Structure 1
Amino acid sequence: MRPLAPSFAALACLALFSAPALAHFQEVIPSADVLPEGGEVNIDMVFTHPFEGGPVMEMKKPVKMGVFKAGTTTDLLPRIKQSEIDGKTTWSLETELVEPGASIFYVEPQPYWEPAEGKYIIHYAKVVVDNYASGEGWDELVGLPVEIQPLTRPTGLWAGNVFSGVVLKEGNPVPFAEIEVEFINDASITAPNDAFITQVIKADANGTFTYAMPRAGWWGFAALVEGDEPMSSPEGKDVPVELGALMWVKTTDMSGK
């Protein structure tokens, strides 16, 4: 007897479950990671899929946006400006850095409902800008609910350098935390297959991880931790919350590109 052909519904389900999940990254990208002579810096905040260049997702006005420097936090939320990419809301900031030292810009977005995964996503993202190339203050903690504490200075890095950090939740290391890593692709790289789009590593028993960045550009490290309390979905059901401790690091090619 000839075997029955799979139904259209079965094929659709197979396609659905075999399709790779796209990694979400909250970008908070400055115009430079080091300001050798001080001055202005622009910060762009986009919620997207970096390696694939999109799609861009709607980003409501952040809950918090600020800068941490030398133990002091400054609220920058009133100064951010709304913009748009591909019809989706994004945000930006222009500011001037005067004093030498590391300025740690951070953003806490509103929870993002992801129906495909049945959960809310909150990525606490940060990036370091070193004013006057001081090399100071880069390892200070903002005090976010989940946060990466860098063990490698995240500025002035060559392509091929490694980046190490510790995943923290409420100030405590998270053993064996999973970290997703993506590169902001300018369309110059074609992945051989989907496995190359999002790199995945795990922290050790002390919450420490290391990754070698093979190309010049911006790299995002998203340590994913499950939230302690569920949230209510648009349908009114209790659903999990994915907390992301996200840090951005830039590398530069030794040719100067």
Structure 2
Amino acid sequence: MLKTLGRLAIASACVLSATMPAHAHFQLAYTPDVNVTKAGDQPVKLIFWHPFENGHVMDMAEPLEFYAVNRGEKIDLKSTLSPITFTGIANTAAAFDATLTLRRSGDYVMVVVPAPYYEESEDIFIQQITKSYVNRNEIPTDWMEPQGLKTEILPLNRPTNIIAGSTFTGRVLSEGQPVVGVEVEIEYMAAEPDMASNTPKGPTASPMPGGAVVAISDQNGYFTFGVPKAGFWGFAALGSGPDKEFQGKELSQDAVLWVRAYDVK
């Protein structure tokens, strides 16, 4: 089995359907506009959710860290956090509003290091260290740089303007080193959050039959996915981080990355 997975990974990090249920939790650091021209404040929502199925929302504790990086400068955003209640179709849960202030041109890499979340159904903790991106004035500055996180996905395609129908390649890192053979869960944000009402908008897609869509990182930590549809796509490298235990229980320390795809018009 391991040899088979290795061959699949080395060939092209093929996309697979999971053979067993995956938890499909995804940490969001969401703002609807990721390519902007004007300086000013961008509203952001931090939600721990199942966005592909527009499903269950998990209570989110205050993040351990929340910041942005622009031109290599770290900008603390924790002071902008404001608790909210996000109401999904299945339940309500604690989430956060925040503000990203854009001043200089270039990339703003938003980083969320959440507190570990206890998933009672699996009797494990989950910590999804998340990156998402906003760009001002189409000037690339930071998107291609690792941020020195415990675990992260390094994008090899500019994450704010992926072409729908093309491919996206990422590299899974743990403490700066590539992670071999890790499962990368792939999620479409089928229902984007409504910024005013703290509810999901109408879904534009349905979850895939057969369970979660998964890619396997190759011997150098790379994976590739063909992006079929415009919108926000999330990638979660499950258990890719170095920390494996929290409060005496198993910890899945995941790296999450969000990108935005567009149709060519």
What TM-score bracket applies, with the shorter chain setting the length? 0.7 to 0.9
Partner of 1:171: 176
Q: What CA distance in whole angstroms lies between the structure 2 residues aligned with 1:191 and 1:245?
A: 21
Q: Which runs of 5+ in 1 are unaligned?
A: 1-17, 233-237
Q: What is the TM-score normalised by the length of structure 2?
A: 0.82
Partner of 1:231: 246
Please say if residues 43 and 98 of structure 2, whose CA atoms lie closer than 8 Å, have aligned partners that are also in contact.
yes
Q: What CA distance in whole angstroms lies between the structure 1 residues aligned with 2:20 and 2:237?
A: 23
Partner SS for 1:152: coil
Which letter maps to 2:98?
Answer: L
**What does residue range 190-201 of structure 1 map to in structure 2 within 5 Å?**
190-191=206-207, 193-195=209-211, 198-201=212-215
Offset at 1:226? 5.6
Please say if residues 151 and 242 of structure 2, whose CA atoms lie closer than 8 Å, have aligned partners that are also in contact.
no
Which letter maps to 1:39?
Answer: G
Relative to structure 1, is the Cα distance of residues 21 and 169 closer, same or farther in structure 2, using a 3 angstrom cutoff? closer
* Higher RCO (CA < 8 A, seq sep 6+): 2
**Is 1:95–2:95 an aligned residue pair?**
no
Offset at 1:21? 4.3
Partner of 1:146: 151
Q: Deviations over 1:211-243 (max 9, x none)?
A: 1111111100001126444222xxxxx321101
Which letter maps to 1:47?
Answer: F
Partner of 1:247: 257
Partner SS for 2:140: coil
**What does residue range 57-206 of structure 1 map to in structure 2 within 5 Å?**
57-86=58-87, 87-186=92-191, 187-191=203-207, 193-195=209-211, 198-206=212-220
Q: Percent identity?
A: 32
Partner SS for 2:58: coil
Q: What CA distance in whole angstroms lies between the structure 1 residues aligned with 2:223 and 2:22?
A: 23
Provide the alpha-carbon RMSD of the alignment.
Answer: 1.8
Offset at 1:135? 2.5
Partner of 1:10: none
Q: Which runs of 5+ in 2 are unaligned?
A: 1-18, 192-202
Q: What is the TM-score normalised by the length of structure 1?
A: 0.84
Structure whose CA Rg is larger: 1
Which letter maps to 1:219?
Answer: W
- Between the two proteins, the alignment pairs up a number of residues equal to 231
